[in-house]
Structure formats: C-alpha cells, structure tokens
Amino acid sequence: MTKIADKFNSQTTSQAYWRCAWRRLRRNKRGMAGLCFVIGMCLISLFSPLLATNQPIVCKYQGKWYFPAIVEIFQSRSTGVHWIKKSPPFNLPQFNAKKELDPEDLAIWPLIYYSEYEQTDDFLATPSAEHWLGTDDLGRDLAARIIHGTTISIKVGFVSVGIAAVIGILLGGLAGYWGGWVDIIISRIIEIIICFPVFFLILAIMVWLKPNIINVMIVIGLTRWTSIARYARGEFIRIKGQDYIIAARALGIRDSKIMFRHILPNALTPVLVSITFGIANAILVEAGLSWLGFGVQAPAPSWGNILRTAYETLRIAPHMMYPPCIAIFLAVMSYNLFGDALRDAIDPRLRSTT
Amino acid sequence: MWRYIVKRLLIIPLVLWVIYTITFLMAVSIPGNPFKQGERALSPDVQRAVEAQYKADDNWIFYWQYLKGLFQPIKAYRGLGPLVDLGPSWQYRDWTCNQIIGSSLPVSVGLGLTAMLIATSVGIPVGVISAVKRNSWFDYTSLGLALVGISLPTFVTGTALLIFFTIKLTWLPVGGWGQLSHLWLPAVTLSLPFMAYIARLTRMGMLDVLASDYIRTAQAKGLSQKKIIWKHALKNAFLPVVSFLGPASAAALTGSFVIESIFNIPGLGQHFVAGVQNRDRAMILGTVLVYSTVLVLFNLLVDITYTLVDPRIDVEKSGTK
C-alpha cells in the first residue's frame, strides 16, 4: 500500500523546470558531446601555456625552482597586461630556455614546446614528431598556433554574444513588457538593424577604428542582437499575462524587479538557444573577417588568419589547410549540436513524445 | 491585406532614409577622401575645385543633393536623367555609381538566384523525405550533412570545391565570369549553408505538422500518402522556411564578398569593400542603399507570402501586438 502511495507521489510531484530540461539534455548524446567539446575548448584556451609554449612548466635552473609556464596562465596574454611577473631570467625575450637549461636539470616541458610566435628555421614543414601539425610560412609551429587560436574563438564567441545578449534581452524585454509606444519604437529599430548590411557596418568600423580583436568582438556584438531581442520580446509578452505576474503587480512590486527577478528567469531558455547559435555564428564571422584580413591582425594567431596563410601557400604546403578547417568546423558544430539539444530539451511539444 | 501592403510600402522610404542617414554619418566619420591620394599632389586650387565638383567640401550639401538624386520621377519622366541617381563615383571618376552598380548587380543577382534555386530545390525535398522517414539512414545522413553545411564557413567549402574540381579534376575553369561553366562552383558553394538550413527547417516543420490532427483526418479519409505529404503537410511546414528565405535570398542576391573574392567574380561585394577602403562616399551609400532596398523588399515579400500560405496568420495584428 505504501509502495503504491510512494509511486503515486513521485509521479505527481512537479519537477523543477530546469532540472527537467537538464535531464532531457543529458539523455541527448550528441548534445552532450557538443557541450563536452565546448568545455574542452574553454579548458584548452585557459591552460594553453601548459600545452604549448617555449618555456618549461616546472624546472630547476642553477639551483632554483621556476614555474614560467604556470605564471603565463595568470598573465592575461596578448594584451600586455601582466598581473604576475616571471622570475628574472625567464622574463627576458632573448632568454632561450631550451638552450640555457642543461640536460641534467630537472624540467617538465609542455606537450608542444614551441610558443605561438616562435620562429624556427624549417618553414612550411610537413607534420613530423617535432612539429605535430607542421609549420607555417615563418616557421612557427602550427599546433601551437591552433591551440592559442582557440582563445580568440572562445573569447569572440562569449564576449560578442554576451554584448548581444545584454542589448537584446534589455531591449526585447522592455518592448515585450511595456508594449505600446516602447514596443513600436524598439521593433522599428530592430527592423532597421536587420535591413542594414552587417558586413558593411563591420568593415566601416574596422576602417574607422583599429582592426583588433576587441573591436571585432564589440562590432559583432552590436550587430547580432536582433534575433535575441525578438525571442526575448516574444517570451516577455507570453509571460507577462500569466497569473503570478499579475499577482506580483497587485502586491506592488517594482516593474524593474518584476522584469528581472520574475519574468527573466522563465524567459531565459528560448533566449539561451538563440545565444548558443549566436556563438556559433560569431565564430564563423570572426573567422571570415580574419580570413579577409579585417579581423585579428598578424602575428596574433586566430583560426581565420591561419587559414588565410594556408590559402596563400596552398600550392606549396597543402597540409596547412586541414588543422584550422577542422578546428573551426568542430567548434561551430559543437555549439550547433548543443543548441539543437537545448532546444529539444526545452520544447514542451516534444515532452510527451520523447 | 491590401491596406497592410500599402502601409508597409509607405514605411519603406522612411526605413531607407534612416539607413541612408546612418550610413552617411558613418561614411563621413571615416577619415580621408580619395581626392587627396592621387599619384601627384594637386595644386590647392584644383584640389578645391575637384572637391567642390563632387560636393566633398560640404557634407550638408552633399547629404541633400544625394538624397534628392535618389528618387527623381519628374526628371526621369522628362528624359533628363535616371529615376535613381546614385551620383558619380569619387574614386573611379569617369564612372557613375549607376554604371558600376548596374554592371555588377546582375552578376550578383544571377549568382544569388541560381544559388537559392539550388538550395530550395534540394533542401526542401531532402527535408520532407527525412521527416517522413524519421530515424532512417536517410534521415541521419541528411541531418549529418546539413550540420556539416551549417558548420563549415563558405571560404572553406569554396576553396575545397575549387581545388577538387579545377586543380585535381580540371573539369571546370578556375575563376572568372561570363560562361555558364563559371557559374556552377560559386553557386553551389553559396547555396550549401542555405540548403542545410532549409533542409533542417523543412524537416522540423514537417515533423510538427505530421503529428497534427488534420493530417490524421486526411489519412482517415483515405487520401494517398503522397498527396497528404506533398500537398497538405508541406504547405504548413513551409512557413518557417519562408521566413528564412527572405533575408537569405537578399543576402545571396547581393552577393557574398568572400565567395566573389575566392572565385574572382565581378559582383557587387567587391565594390562594397572597395568603396569603404577608398573612402568613396557615393559608392558606399549606393551599395548600402541597393542592398538595403533588396532586403526590405524581400522582408515584405515574406510577410505577404505568410498570409497567402497560411490565412490563419494576420500580419496586420501580429506586427504591433
């Protein structure tokens, strides 16, 4: 008897919305593979000095211990801002750790002991044990450049879509919540932005400002918020008519609090799907811009400009073509897979069938 | 319905005016102009005269003159000038923007139309079949291929196709424009991501529709499966595709700069980029306005198609809900 009662209870207790979605998401193998790959990319970009740099992770040099590669993780790379400095001999650019260290000194090297900027004598080399993916036209190790290029793709994806999400949710939310004139004005703005050739906007701003990675991120963010705003608007319109919002209003809760504390968490999931696809798109846009030479500027590595070099030296060194292609493809595909899975997980119509 | 279309048509000039103003402001804010970067420095007087001729010295006058030239029905009726005058190009001084855009727009439109034709004629049947045969090998293969199509940037697929068909197989010419054989590779490359999106959208729409009651009714009535799928179900499953087709066709028609640069095609995209790089203000405004007009018109076309395909949707009300 108690058993039946238990079963009955467990079936009727309402499950938290997010936990439900998460459970369905976890069952989707492709989506989870995508998510794992995205997390893997984040880890790679975070710990890229441990994977590829020309300084040892741990070493004993002239009786002292040094951790140059670990310090490099904490330096915000490629911007020149240094929170922690490396200890003396290792912070000098002319100090070549590979030559200075004695073989009997204890040293743990990264997986690929070349940095992304380090030029060697054999350029356009084919893959070998020394250079896993070969070298580019200046003799830089391709594997190291691909690994450090991950950082840029991750950054572009998250920062630009982060900007887009803030603008999109704010404007979409305002339009959906207030309706009336606010809605009309914001909808017209969205319409105009949609009709505006984004590529021109990016080019114009790139000519105007200096083409660097931060400007690329800002520009992509400022032009890609329209679809997020439309989803957010639709969700806010749907939710603001529900009873609990009317109750909240009757209690005299401030509008801003209703919008952000009560509506936003419930409106977030469809927006999240749009954000996921937005990230995939942003990576493609960045790669395209860098390919054209308007994005990340050399010598900083990005998958797009590695591909550009590969395209220019295609006849001599076709092996350079594959790694950046595969990297871009896998990154974009994993975001797309995760987005698909997320959409399936939160779509209420599919709940009964799967 | 007609009231709605007229209302939208009346808004179009307003939207284009806003876009024109924004573009103008941005073009003005880009430093430099093409009159100062000749091979030989002009004497100050000549320099000033040239700038005055192109109204480069006074932004305000340029703004109004250009705006006035954009729509001049009376002048065109009397045969004194074109209906839409995009002005003389600042960089290529023996050309007008009308001539440059007039020669490159048909190229981009031809390429874009072929690409969209390929994309829809392959994407929709594939989407329908994979929805009908859900979880079959065909479904999985087409889904996988669609995912690849979406995830690969066009400069990768374009380069790959170029290498394979022109260098490895030598079936097709490497680049250029003018013959039918020049059209295939860029059109296919341009169509791939659109094709993938269309197949996915059709499949999703079909899956939704096939589970609905009226399909079951049709089946119970004894209609043939073929008729149910291709006539009754596809009509409603088509809606998400339609809303995608609008902006997608506009983007395809006005040309993707990347594809044009890979295949060396004289389309609109290159003038677009060259205009920005040369600070050619007339050219920038001309290309942006052409592009925006195409986009606006296609968006309108989508909304009209929406009501034609699905009379349940009332665009007039959903616009300002």
**What residues have CB less than 8 Å from B48, skipping those under 6 apart?**
B57
SS3 A301: coil
Of all residues in chain A, the one with the smallest CA distance to B12 is A192
CATH superfamily of A20-46+145-353: MetI-like (1.10.3720.10)
Per-residue confidence (pLDDT) for residue A81, from 0 to 100: 59
* Residues 328 through 347 of chain A touching chain B, CB cutoff 8 Å: 328-329, 332-333, 336-337
Domain(s) labelled CATH 1.10.3720.10 in chain A stretch across 20-46+145-353
Number of Cβ pairs closer than 8 Å across A and B? 103
Structure tokens, B231:
């006539």
CA–CA separation, A342 and A22 (whole Å): 9
Domains and CATH numbers, chain B: 97-319 (1.10.3720.10)
pLDDT higher at A99 or A295: A295
Chain segment B117-164, per-residue pLDDT in tens: 999 999 999 999 998 888 889 988 998 898 888 888 888 888 888 888
Nearest to A113 by CA among A159, A62, A49: A49
This prediction has a pTM of 0.82
Surface of A (219-238) touching B: CB under 8 A: 237
CB contact under 8 A, A207 and B288: no
Given a cut of 50, whether residue A157 has pLDDT beyond it is yes
Which residues of A are less than 8 Å from B189 in CB distance?
A: none
Per-residue pLDDT tens for B81-115?
777 777 788 777 778 888 888 888 888 888 888 99
- CA dist A211 and B265 (Å) reads 26
Cβ A40 vs Cβ A47: under 8 Å: no
Q: Which of A100, A323, A215 is nearest to B156 (CA)?
A: A323
What are the mean pLDDT values of chain B's consecutive 10-residue runs (321 residues total)?
A: 81 86 83 68 76 77 81 75 77 80 85 90 92 88 88 85 78 71 85 90 86 85 84 80 79 74 81 81 86 82 76 53 34
The verdict on ipTM greater than 0.85 is no
Q: Which residues pair with A130 in a beta bridge?
A: none
A321 touches chain B (CB under 8 A): yes
Contact A126, A302 (CB under 8 A): no
User: Who wins on pLDDT, A279 or B44?
Assistant: A279
Q: How far apart are CA A162 and CA A175, in angstroms?
A: 20
Contact state of A314 with B163 under an 8 Å Cβ cutoff: yes
Whether chain A has a CB inside 8 Å of the CB on B132: the answer is no
Q: What angle do CA A337, A342, A345 make, to 5 degrees?
A: 125
CB contact A326 to B (< 8 Å): no
Residues of B whose CB is below 8 A from A280: 150-151
E strand spans, chain A? 58-61, 64-66, 107-108
